[in-house]
Amino acid sequence: MANDRGRRRSAPDAPARPWEQLTRGGWVAIGTTALVIASSLTAYGAYYDIYGNINAESVDTDAFGDRPTKVEGAVNILLIGSDVRTGENADYGAAEGERPDTLIIAHVSPDHDGATLVNIPRDSYLDLPACAATDDKPGYDPHLGMIGEAMSLGGVGCLWTTVEQLTGIHIDHFVSVDFTGFKGMVDAIGGVEMCVPAAVQDEKAKLDIEAGEQTLDGETALAYVRSRYAQGDGTDISRIDRQQEFMGAMLRKVMSSDVLASPGNLYAFLGSVTDSITTDDEFTVDAMADVAIAMREVDMASVRFVTVPNGQHPLDTNRIAWREPDASQLFEAIATDVELSEPEDSGSEPDSGDAPQEDAEAEVTPADPSAVAVEVLNATDVDGLGADTGAELTAAGFQVAGTGNPSGETPSATTVYYAPGQESHAAAVAEHVDGARIEEDATLGETVLLVLAGDAGGSGAAELPGAESARTAEETENACG
């Protein structure tokens, strides 16, 4: 019986967690903050002067063909943190072309008095639709590639239509900000207060900083949000955590300080970065003011940060695959302007008995891990996931009886099978494996069986709109002690 089932990965070392964390938050802070304060500038007429310094690029959206339906009132803006290394940005190394170091869909919903910022990880490895060549870009045929190729090989118009086709979300405008713009905005607000948990020296990111609570100026903040290998576990997901905290700190300072107190402060604030911002030429002053009016009443508790649900790509462990159906459910919620605080139907039919099983899980008190023997079987395409999960469970105190791969029929979802009377043991394992369900199997003995199924290898359980793991700006508080 032990070789008839499948498998799922436990949460501790998952590549990314669903519906949470905003990557490269500094650039997004620029875009979001600019939208928040633009209407105040417009009221004084000053913004019309500043607007002239913004670079405008013509994008022929009519050439996109069939596009996702636009929801009246809601606005979706593609925020791009550009890694262009020309001009003043040449100080940050050489890089061919221009790529989106950060890619965010900012969804502004006046009906729900809030905003949701959806991060598309730059390591996303996807089936890219074709993009035509332009005067300065070669374009490409449909292929499996990194999301950033759309911009580097096809331009911002290619990136725009690619995001629309992959997500089903109608994008209204784009805003791109480079390294210099990021520094300028941080300096314009007098720096951002952050708690640095440990001293960091990262030569690649040009970062040398002591531990403790301190105010980061523009140059140091840029190094902090770009640093990867010298902090945490060296992964991009670890960097995402720090960047989300930075963005929350930056937004809180802008909204609570004297930045918004006078036309002069506002003028200096945007004036410091406008020459580092590029938008589509349809994102006019009036269009920006409309967005800003919608954002003006939004408090930090209504600005949500989420990431496309994802996991390790089966063809390349260094790349990310979007986990389905979770990713599609998130995109559908954004595309149709569903309030994320309202749980939605997952769209999939539950297996018979699922609801009673969930009730049973809620009533069972999990056993102590040291008393639980578990065998782990990997029914996914991710090599080594069974061994990794076994190691994680061992570290958590479980007795791992063995790991391997199943033969024969496997479940569609990660499942912990248990013998009669062993339900508390199964519940203990399920508690350590996000999204795992439990099911009784009278053929088993005292060892429970964890089968990691096709939903494994990602970032935990499928989270629907309103998932508790999503963070708001208020929940990114970063303070020592």
Same domain for 375 and 261, yes or no, is: no
Domain end call among 241, 274, 308 = 308
Same domain for 68 and 123, yes or no, is: yes
More confident residue, 51 or 85: 51
Residue 481 reports pLDDT greater than 60: no
Model confidence pLDDT, tens digit, residues 29-46 = 445 445 444 444 444 455
Q: How many domains is the chain partitioned into structurally?
A: 2
**Alpha-carbon span 129 to 84, nearest angstrom:** 24
Same domain for 121 and 257, yes or no, is: yes
Residue 344 lies in a domain: no
CATH number at residue 403: 3.30.70.2390
Same domain for 363 and 252, yes or no, is: no
More confident residue, 162 or 116: 162
Residue 285 lies in a domain: yes
Same domain for 129 and 48, yes or no, is: yes
**Alpha-carbon span 414 to 461, nearest angstrom:** 10
Same domain for 37 and 168, yes or no, is: yes
Amino acid at 454: G
Residue 352 reports pLDDT greater than 50: no
pLDDT for position 455: 53
> Which of the residue ranges 248-252, 280-284, 375-379 would you say has the lowest mean pLDDT?
248-252
Same domain for 260 and 167, yes or no, is: yes
> Which of the residue ranges 86-100, 302-316, 426-440 would you say has the lowest mean pLDDT?
86-100
**Alpha-carbon span 387 to 378, nearest angstrom:** 8
pLDDT for position 464: 38
Same domain for 429 and 288, yes or no, is: no
Residue 75 lies in a domain: yes
Cα 428 from chain centroid (whole Å): 29
pLDDT for position 361: 37
Residue 387 lies in a domain: yes
Same domain for 280 and 175, yes or no, is: yes
CATH number at residue 279: 3.40.630.190
Same domain for 270 and 365, yes or no, is: no
Residue 427 lies in a domain: yes
Residue 332 lies in a domain: no
pLDDT for position 375: 92
More confident residue, 96 or 108: 108
Same domain for 183 and 263, yes or no, is: yes
Query: What Cα–Cα distance (Å) separates residue 428 from each residue in 321, 354, 374?
Result: 29, 18, 10
Question: Residues of the chain with pLDDT > 70: what percent?
Answer: 66
Residue 291 lies in a domain: yes
More confident residue, 47 or 189: 189
Residue 132 reports pLDDT greater than 90: yes
**At 386, is the pLDDT very low, low, confident or very high (cuts 50, 70, 90)?**
confident
> What is the pLDDT of the chain when averaged over all its residues?
74
Residue 461 lies in a domain: no
> Which of the residue ranges 94-98, 122-126, 137-141, 390-394 would you say has the lowest mean pLDDT?
94-98
**At 478, is the pLDDT very low, low, confident or very high (cuts 50, 70, 90)?**
low
Same domain for 293 and 236, yes or no, is: yes
What mean pLDDT do residues 430-441 have?
Answer: 87
Owning domain of residue 277: 25-308
